Amino acid sequence: MNLVLFNFHDTVLLITLYQSGLLLLASVFAAARNPRLAIFSGLFFLSCGAIPLDKLIRFGAEFHPWAVEFLPQSLYLLEMGYWLQGPLFLWMLRSFLDAEYRPRARDAIYLLPFLLFLLHQILAYYNYHEATPASADEAPDGADLMTIYFIVLCRELLRLYFAVMAATELFVYLRGLGGKAHSMAALEKRSDFTPAIDSVVFGRNQKELDGGQVYFGAVPILVVGVLLLWGLGCVVSFGLIVNVKFAIGFPVEFLGLSANYINCMLFSAVLIAGFKGFSLPQKFVVDSFEPHQAVRDDGRSSSAKQKVAEPSVNPEYVRKLDQLVETDRVYLEANLTLEALARRIGVSARTLSTVLKAHYECNFFEFINRYRIAEAKRLMVAESTRDATMVEIMTAAGFNSKATFNSIFKKMEGVTPRQYKKQNLPS
């Protein structure tokens, strides 16, 4: 049998298709923890799998003629994946950052470009079987090549817009945690580390860093990679228009092939990062806080109050720290970091981290967020602020991200902020 359907470039697309399937499978197994996240991530990776298959059908040197003969109706069907990727990616990220996230009715406008394109395909292509092009460089009868390339550019710009939105929201979320990504050098495995299939995508298992910082794995890699990849797609689409209009020989074929390889490497990195079990940001900041540990109204745990300082802990550091949080209320500063707090005490960030761990039995994020949550609880039921919006309360308590506030509050209190307010307001 001498039929050859795939060359090396096609094999890269097949590998990407296989990787999309693995990530889709991982999303399915994540359903028990966050069903909405599993739905959006599963649909996103399904659309990711449709794109390499679409490229194989349209551009595969050996596969394209076979597809034209045996699968003519699929030539433009799989292109729908491009138009769905952006909204699905944004919704997936929002569900990851906020377990209670659900798209609002007005978010349905994100699907409008897809619906318009679907209508375009039905009217312009699928009503005319004879309009199927024989090669990827030919337009169907009655279609202008420049118009098609312009639509492709609009599609790529739309995807880039969603990627920028996702990257911005992730950046705001990380700033809300007060930490930043760090190297692997300081990672220490938790004793209860148990790999799970959903860690492939979302890094469910946590590893702490010295100084209370955290290494954010698969999700930031995916966000940055998608941002770069979809940006390259805009360059390629613009190059197609330039070549048709001015015939200057812009290297669109090379860039297009490069995008395929980058996509394959990106999904490989996501799979590797996920299997290493890198931390989930919203879980890290509260994961080691035990629900049964009593918390006083001022935010400090009862066990920490009763605990005698370790010999290695300077009591003066503890006194200064208590004064900063209980008298000066530095936790109300939304951009407070470990380094900034350490400077006020007059010690290094490493020393402060040691003090927090030895004397208060927590890291920096847990320490500050206990006070912030206690302040938010006070504001919710105080007569002067009980009518304030939840955004106003979280901002007054020192949070600058609603997703961070909701996630930490529910982990520490077992209920959402709104549920807590409803349960504790006087009748």
| Residues 306 and 385 occupy one common structural domain | yes
Q: Which of 342, 335, 403, 406 is nearest to 373 (CA)?
A: 406
Q: Is the pLDDT of residue 379 over 70?
A: yes
Question: What is the domain-level CATH number for residue 352?
Answer: 1.10.10.60
- For residue 116, tell me if it sits in a domain: yes
Where does a domain end: 246, 280, 314? 280
The last residue of one of the domains, among 241, 263, 280, is: 280
What's the whole-model pTM score? 0.61
250-286 tens-digit pLDDT: 898 899 989 999 999 999 988 887 655 433 333 333 3
Contacts of 175 (CB under 8 A, 6+ apart): 335, 400, 401
- CB-CB contact of 403 with 98 (8 Å): yes
Write down the mean pLDDT value for the chain.
Answer: 75
- 193 with 314, same domain: the answer is no
Whether 297 and 276 share a structural domain: no
Structural domains counted in the chain: 2
Q: Judge if 92 and 13 occupy the same domain.
A: yes
- Same-domain status, 205 and 273: yes
Q: What is the pLDDT of residue 91?
A: 93
For the cut 60, the answer to whether the pLDDT of residue 384 exceeds it is: yes
Residues 6+ apart with CB under 8 A from 231: 160, 163
> 220 is in which domain, residue-wise?
8-280
- Are 235 and 359 members of one domain? no
Same domain, 315 and 253: no
Q: Please tell me what DSSP assigns to residue 131.
A: G
**What is the reported pLDDT for 310?**
45
How many CA atoms lie less than 13 Å away from 229 in the CB half-sphere?
22
DSSP secondary structure of 56-77:
HHHH-TTHHHHHHHH-GGGTTT
Same domain, 91 and 228: yes
Maximum average pLDDT range among 6-20, 136-150, 319-333: 319-333
Q: Which of 280, 312, 331 corresponds to the end of one domain?
A: 280
User: 265 with 315, same domain?
Assistant: no
Same domain, 56 and 199: yes
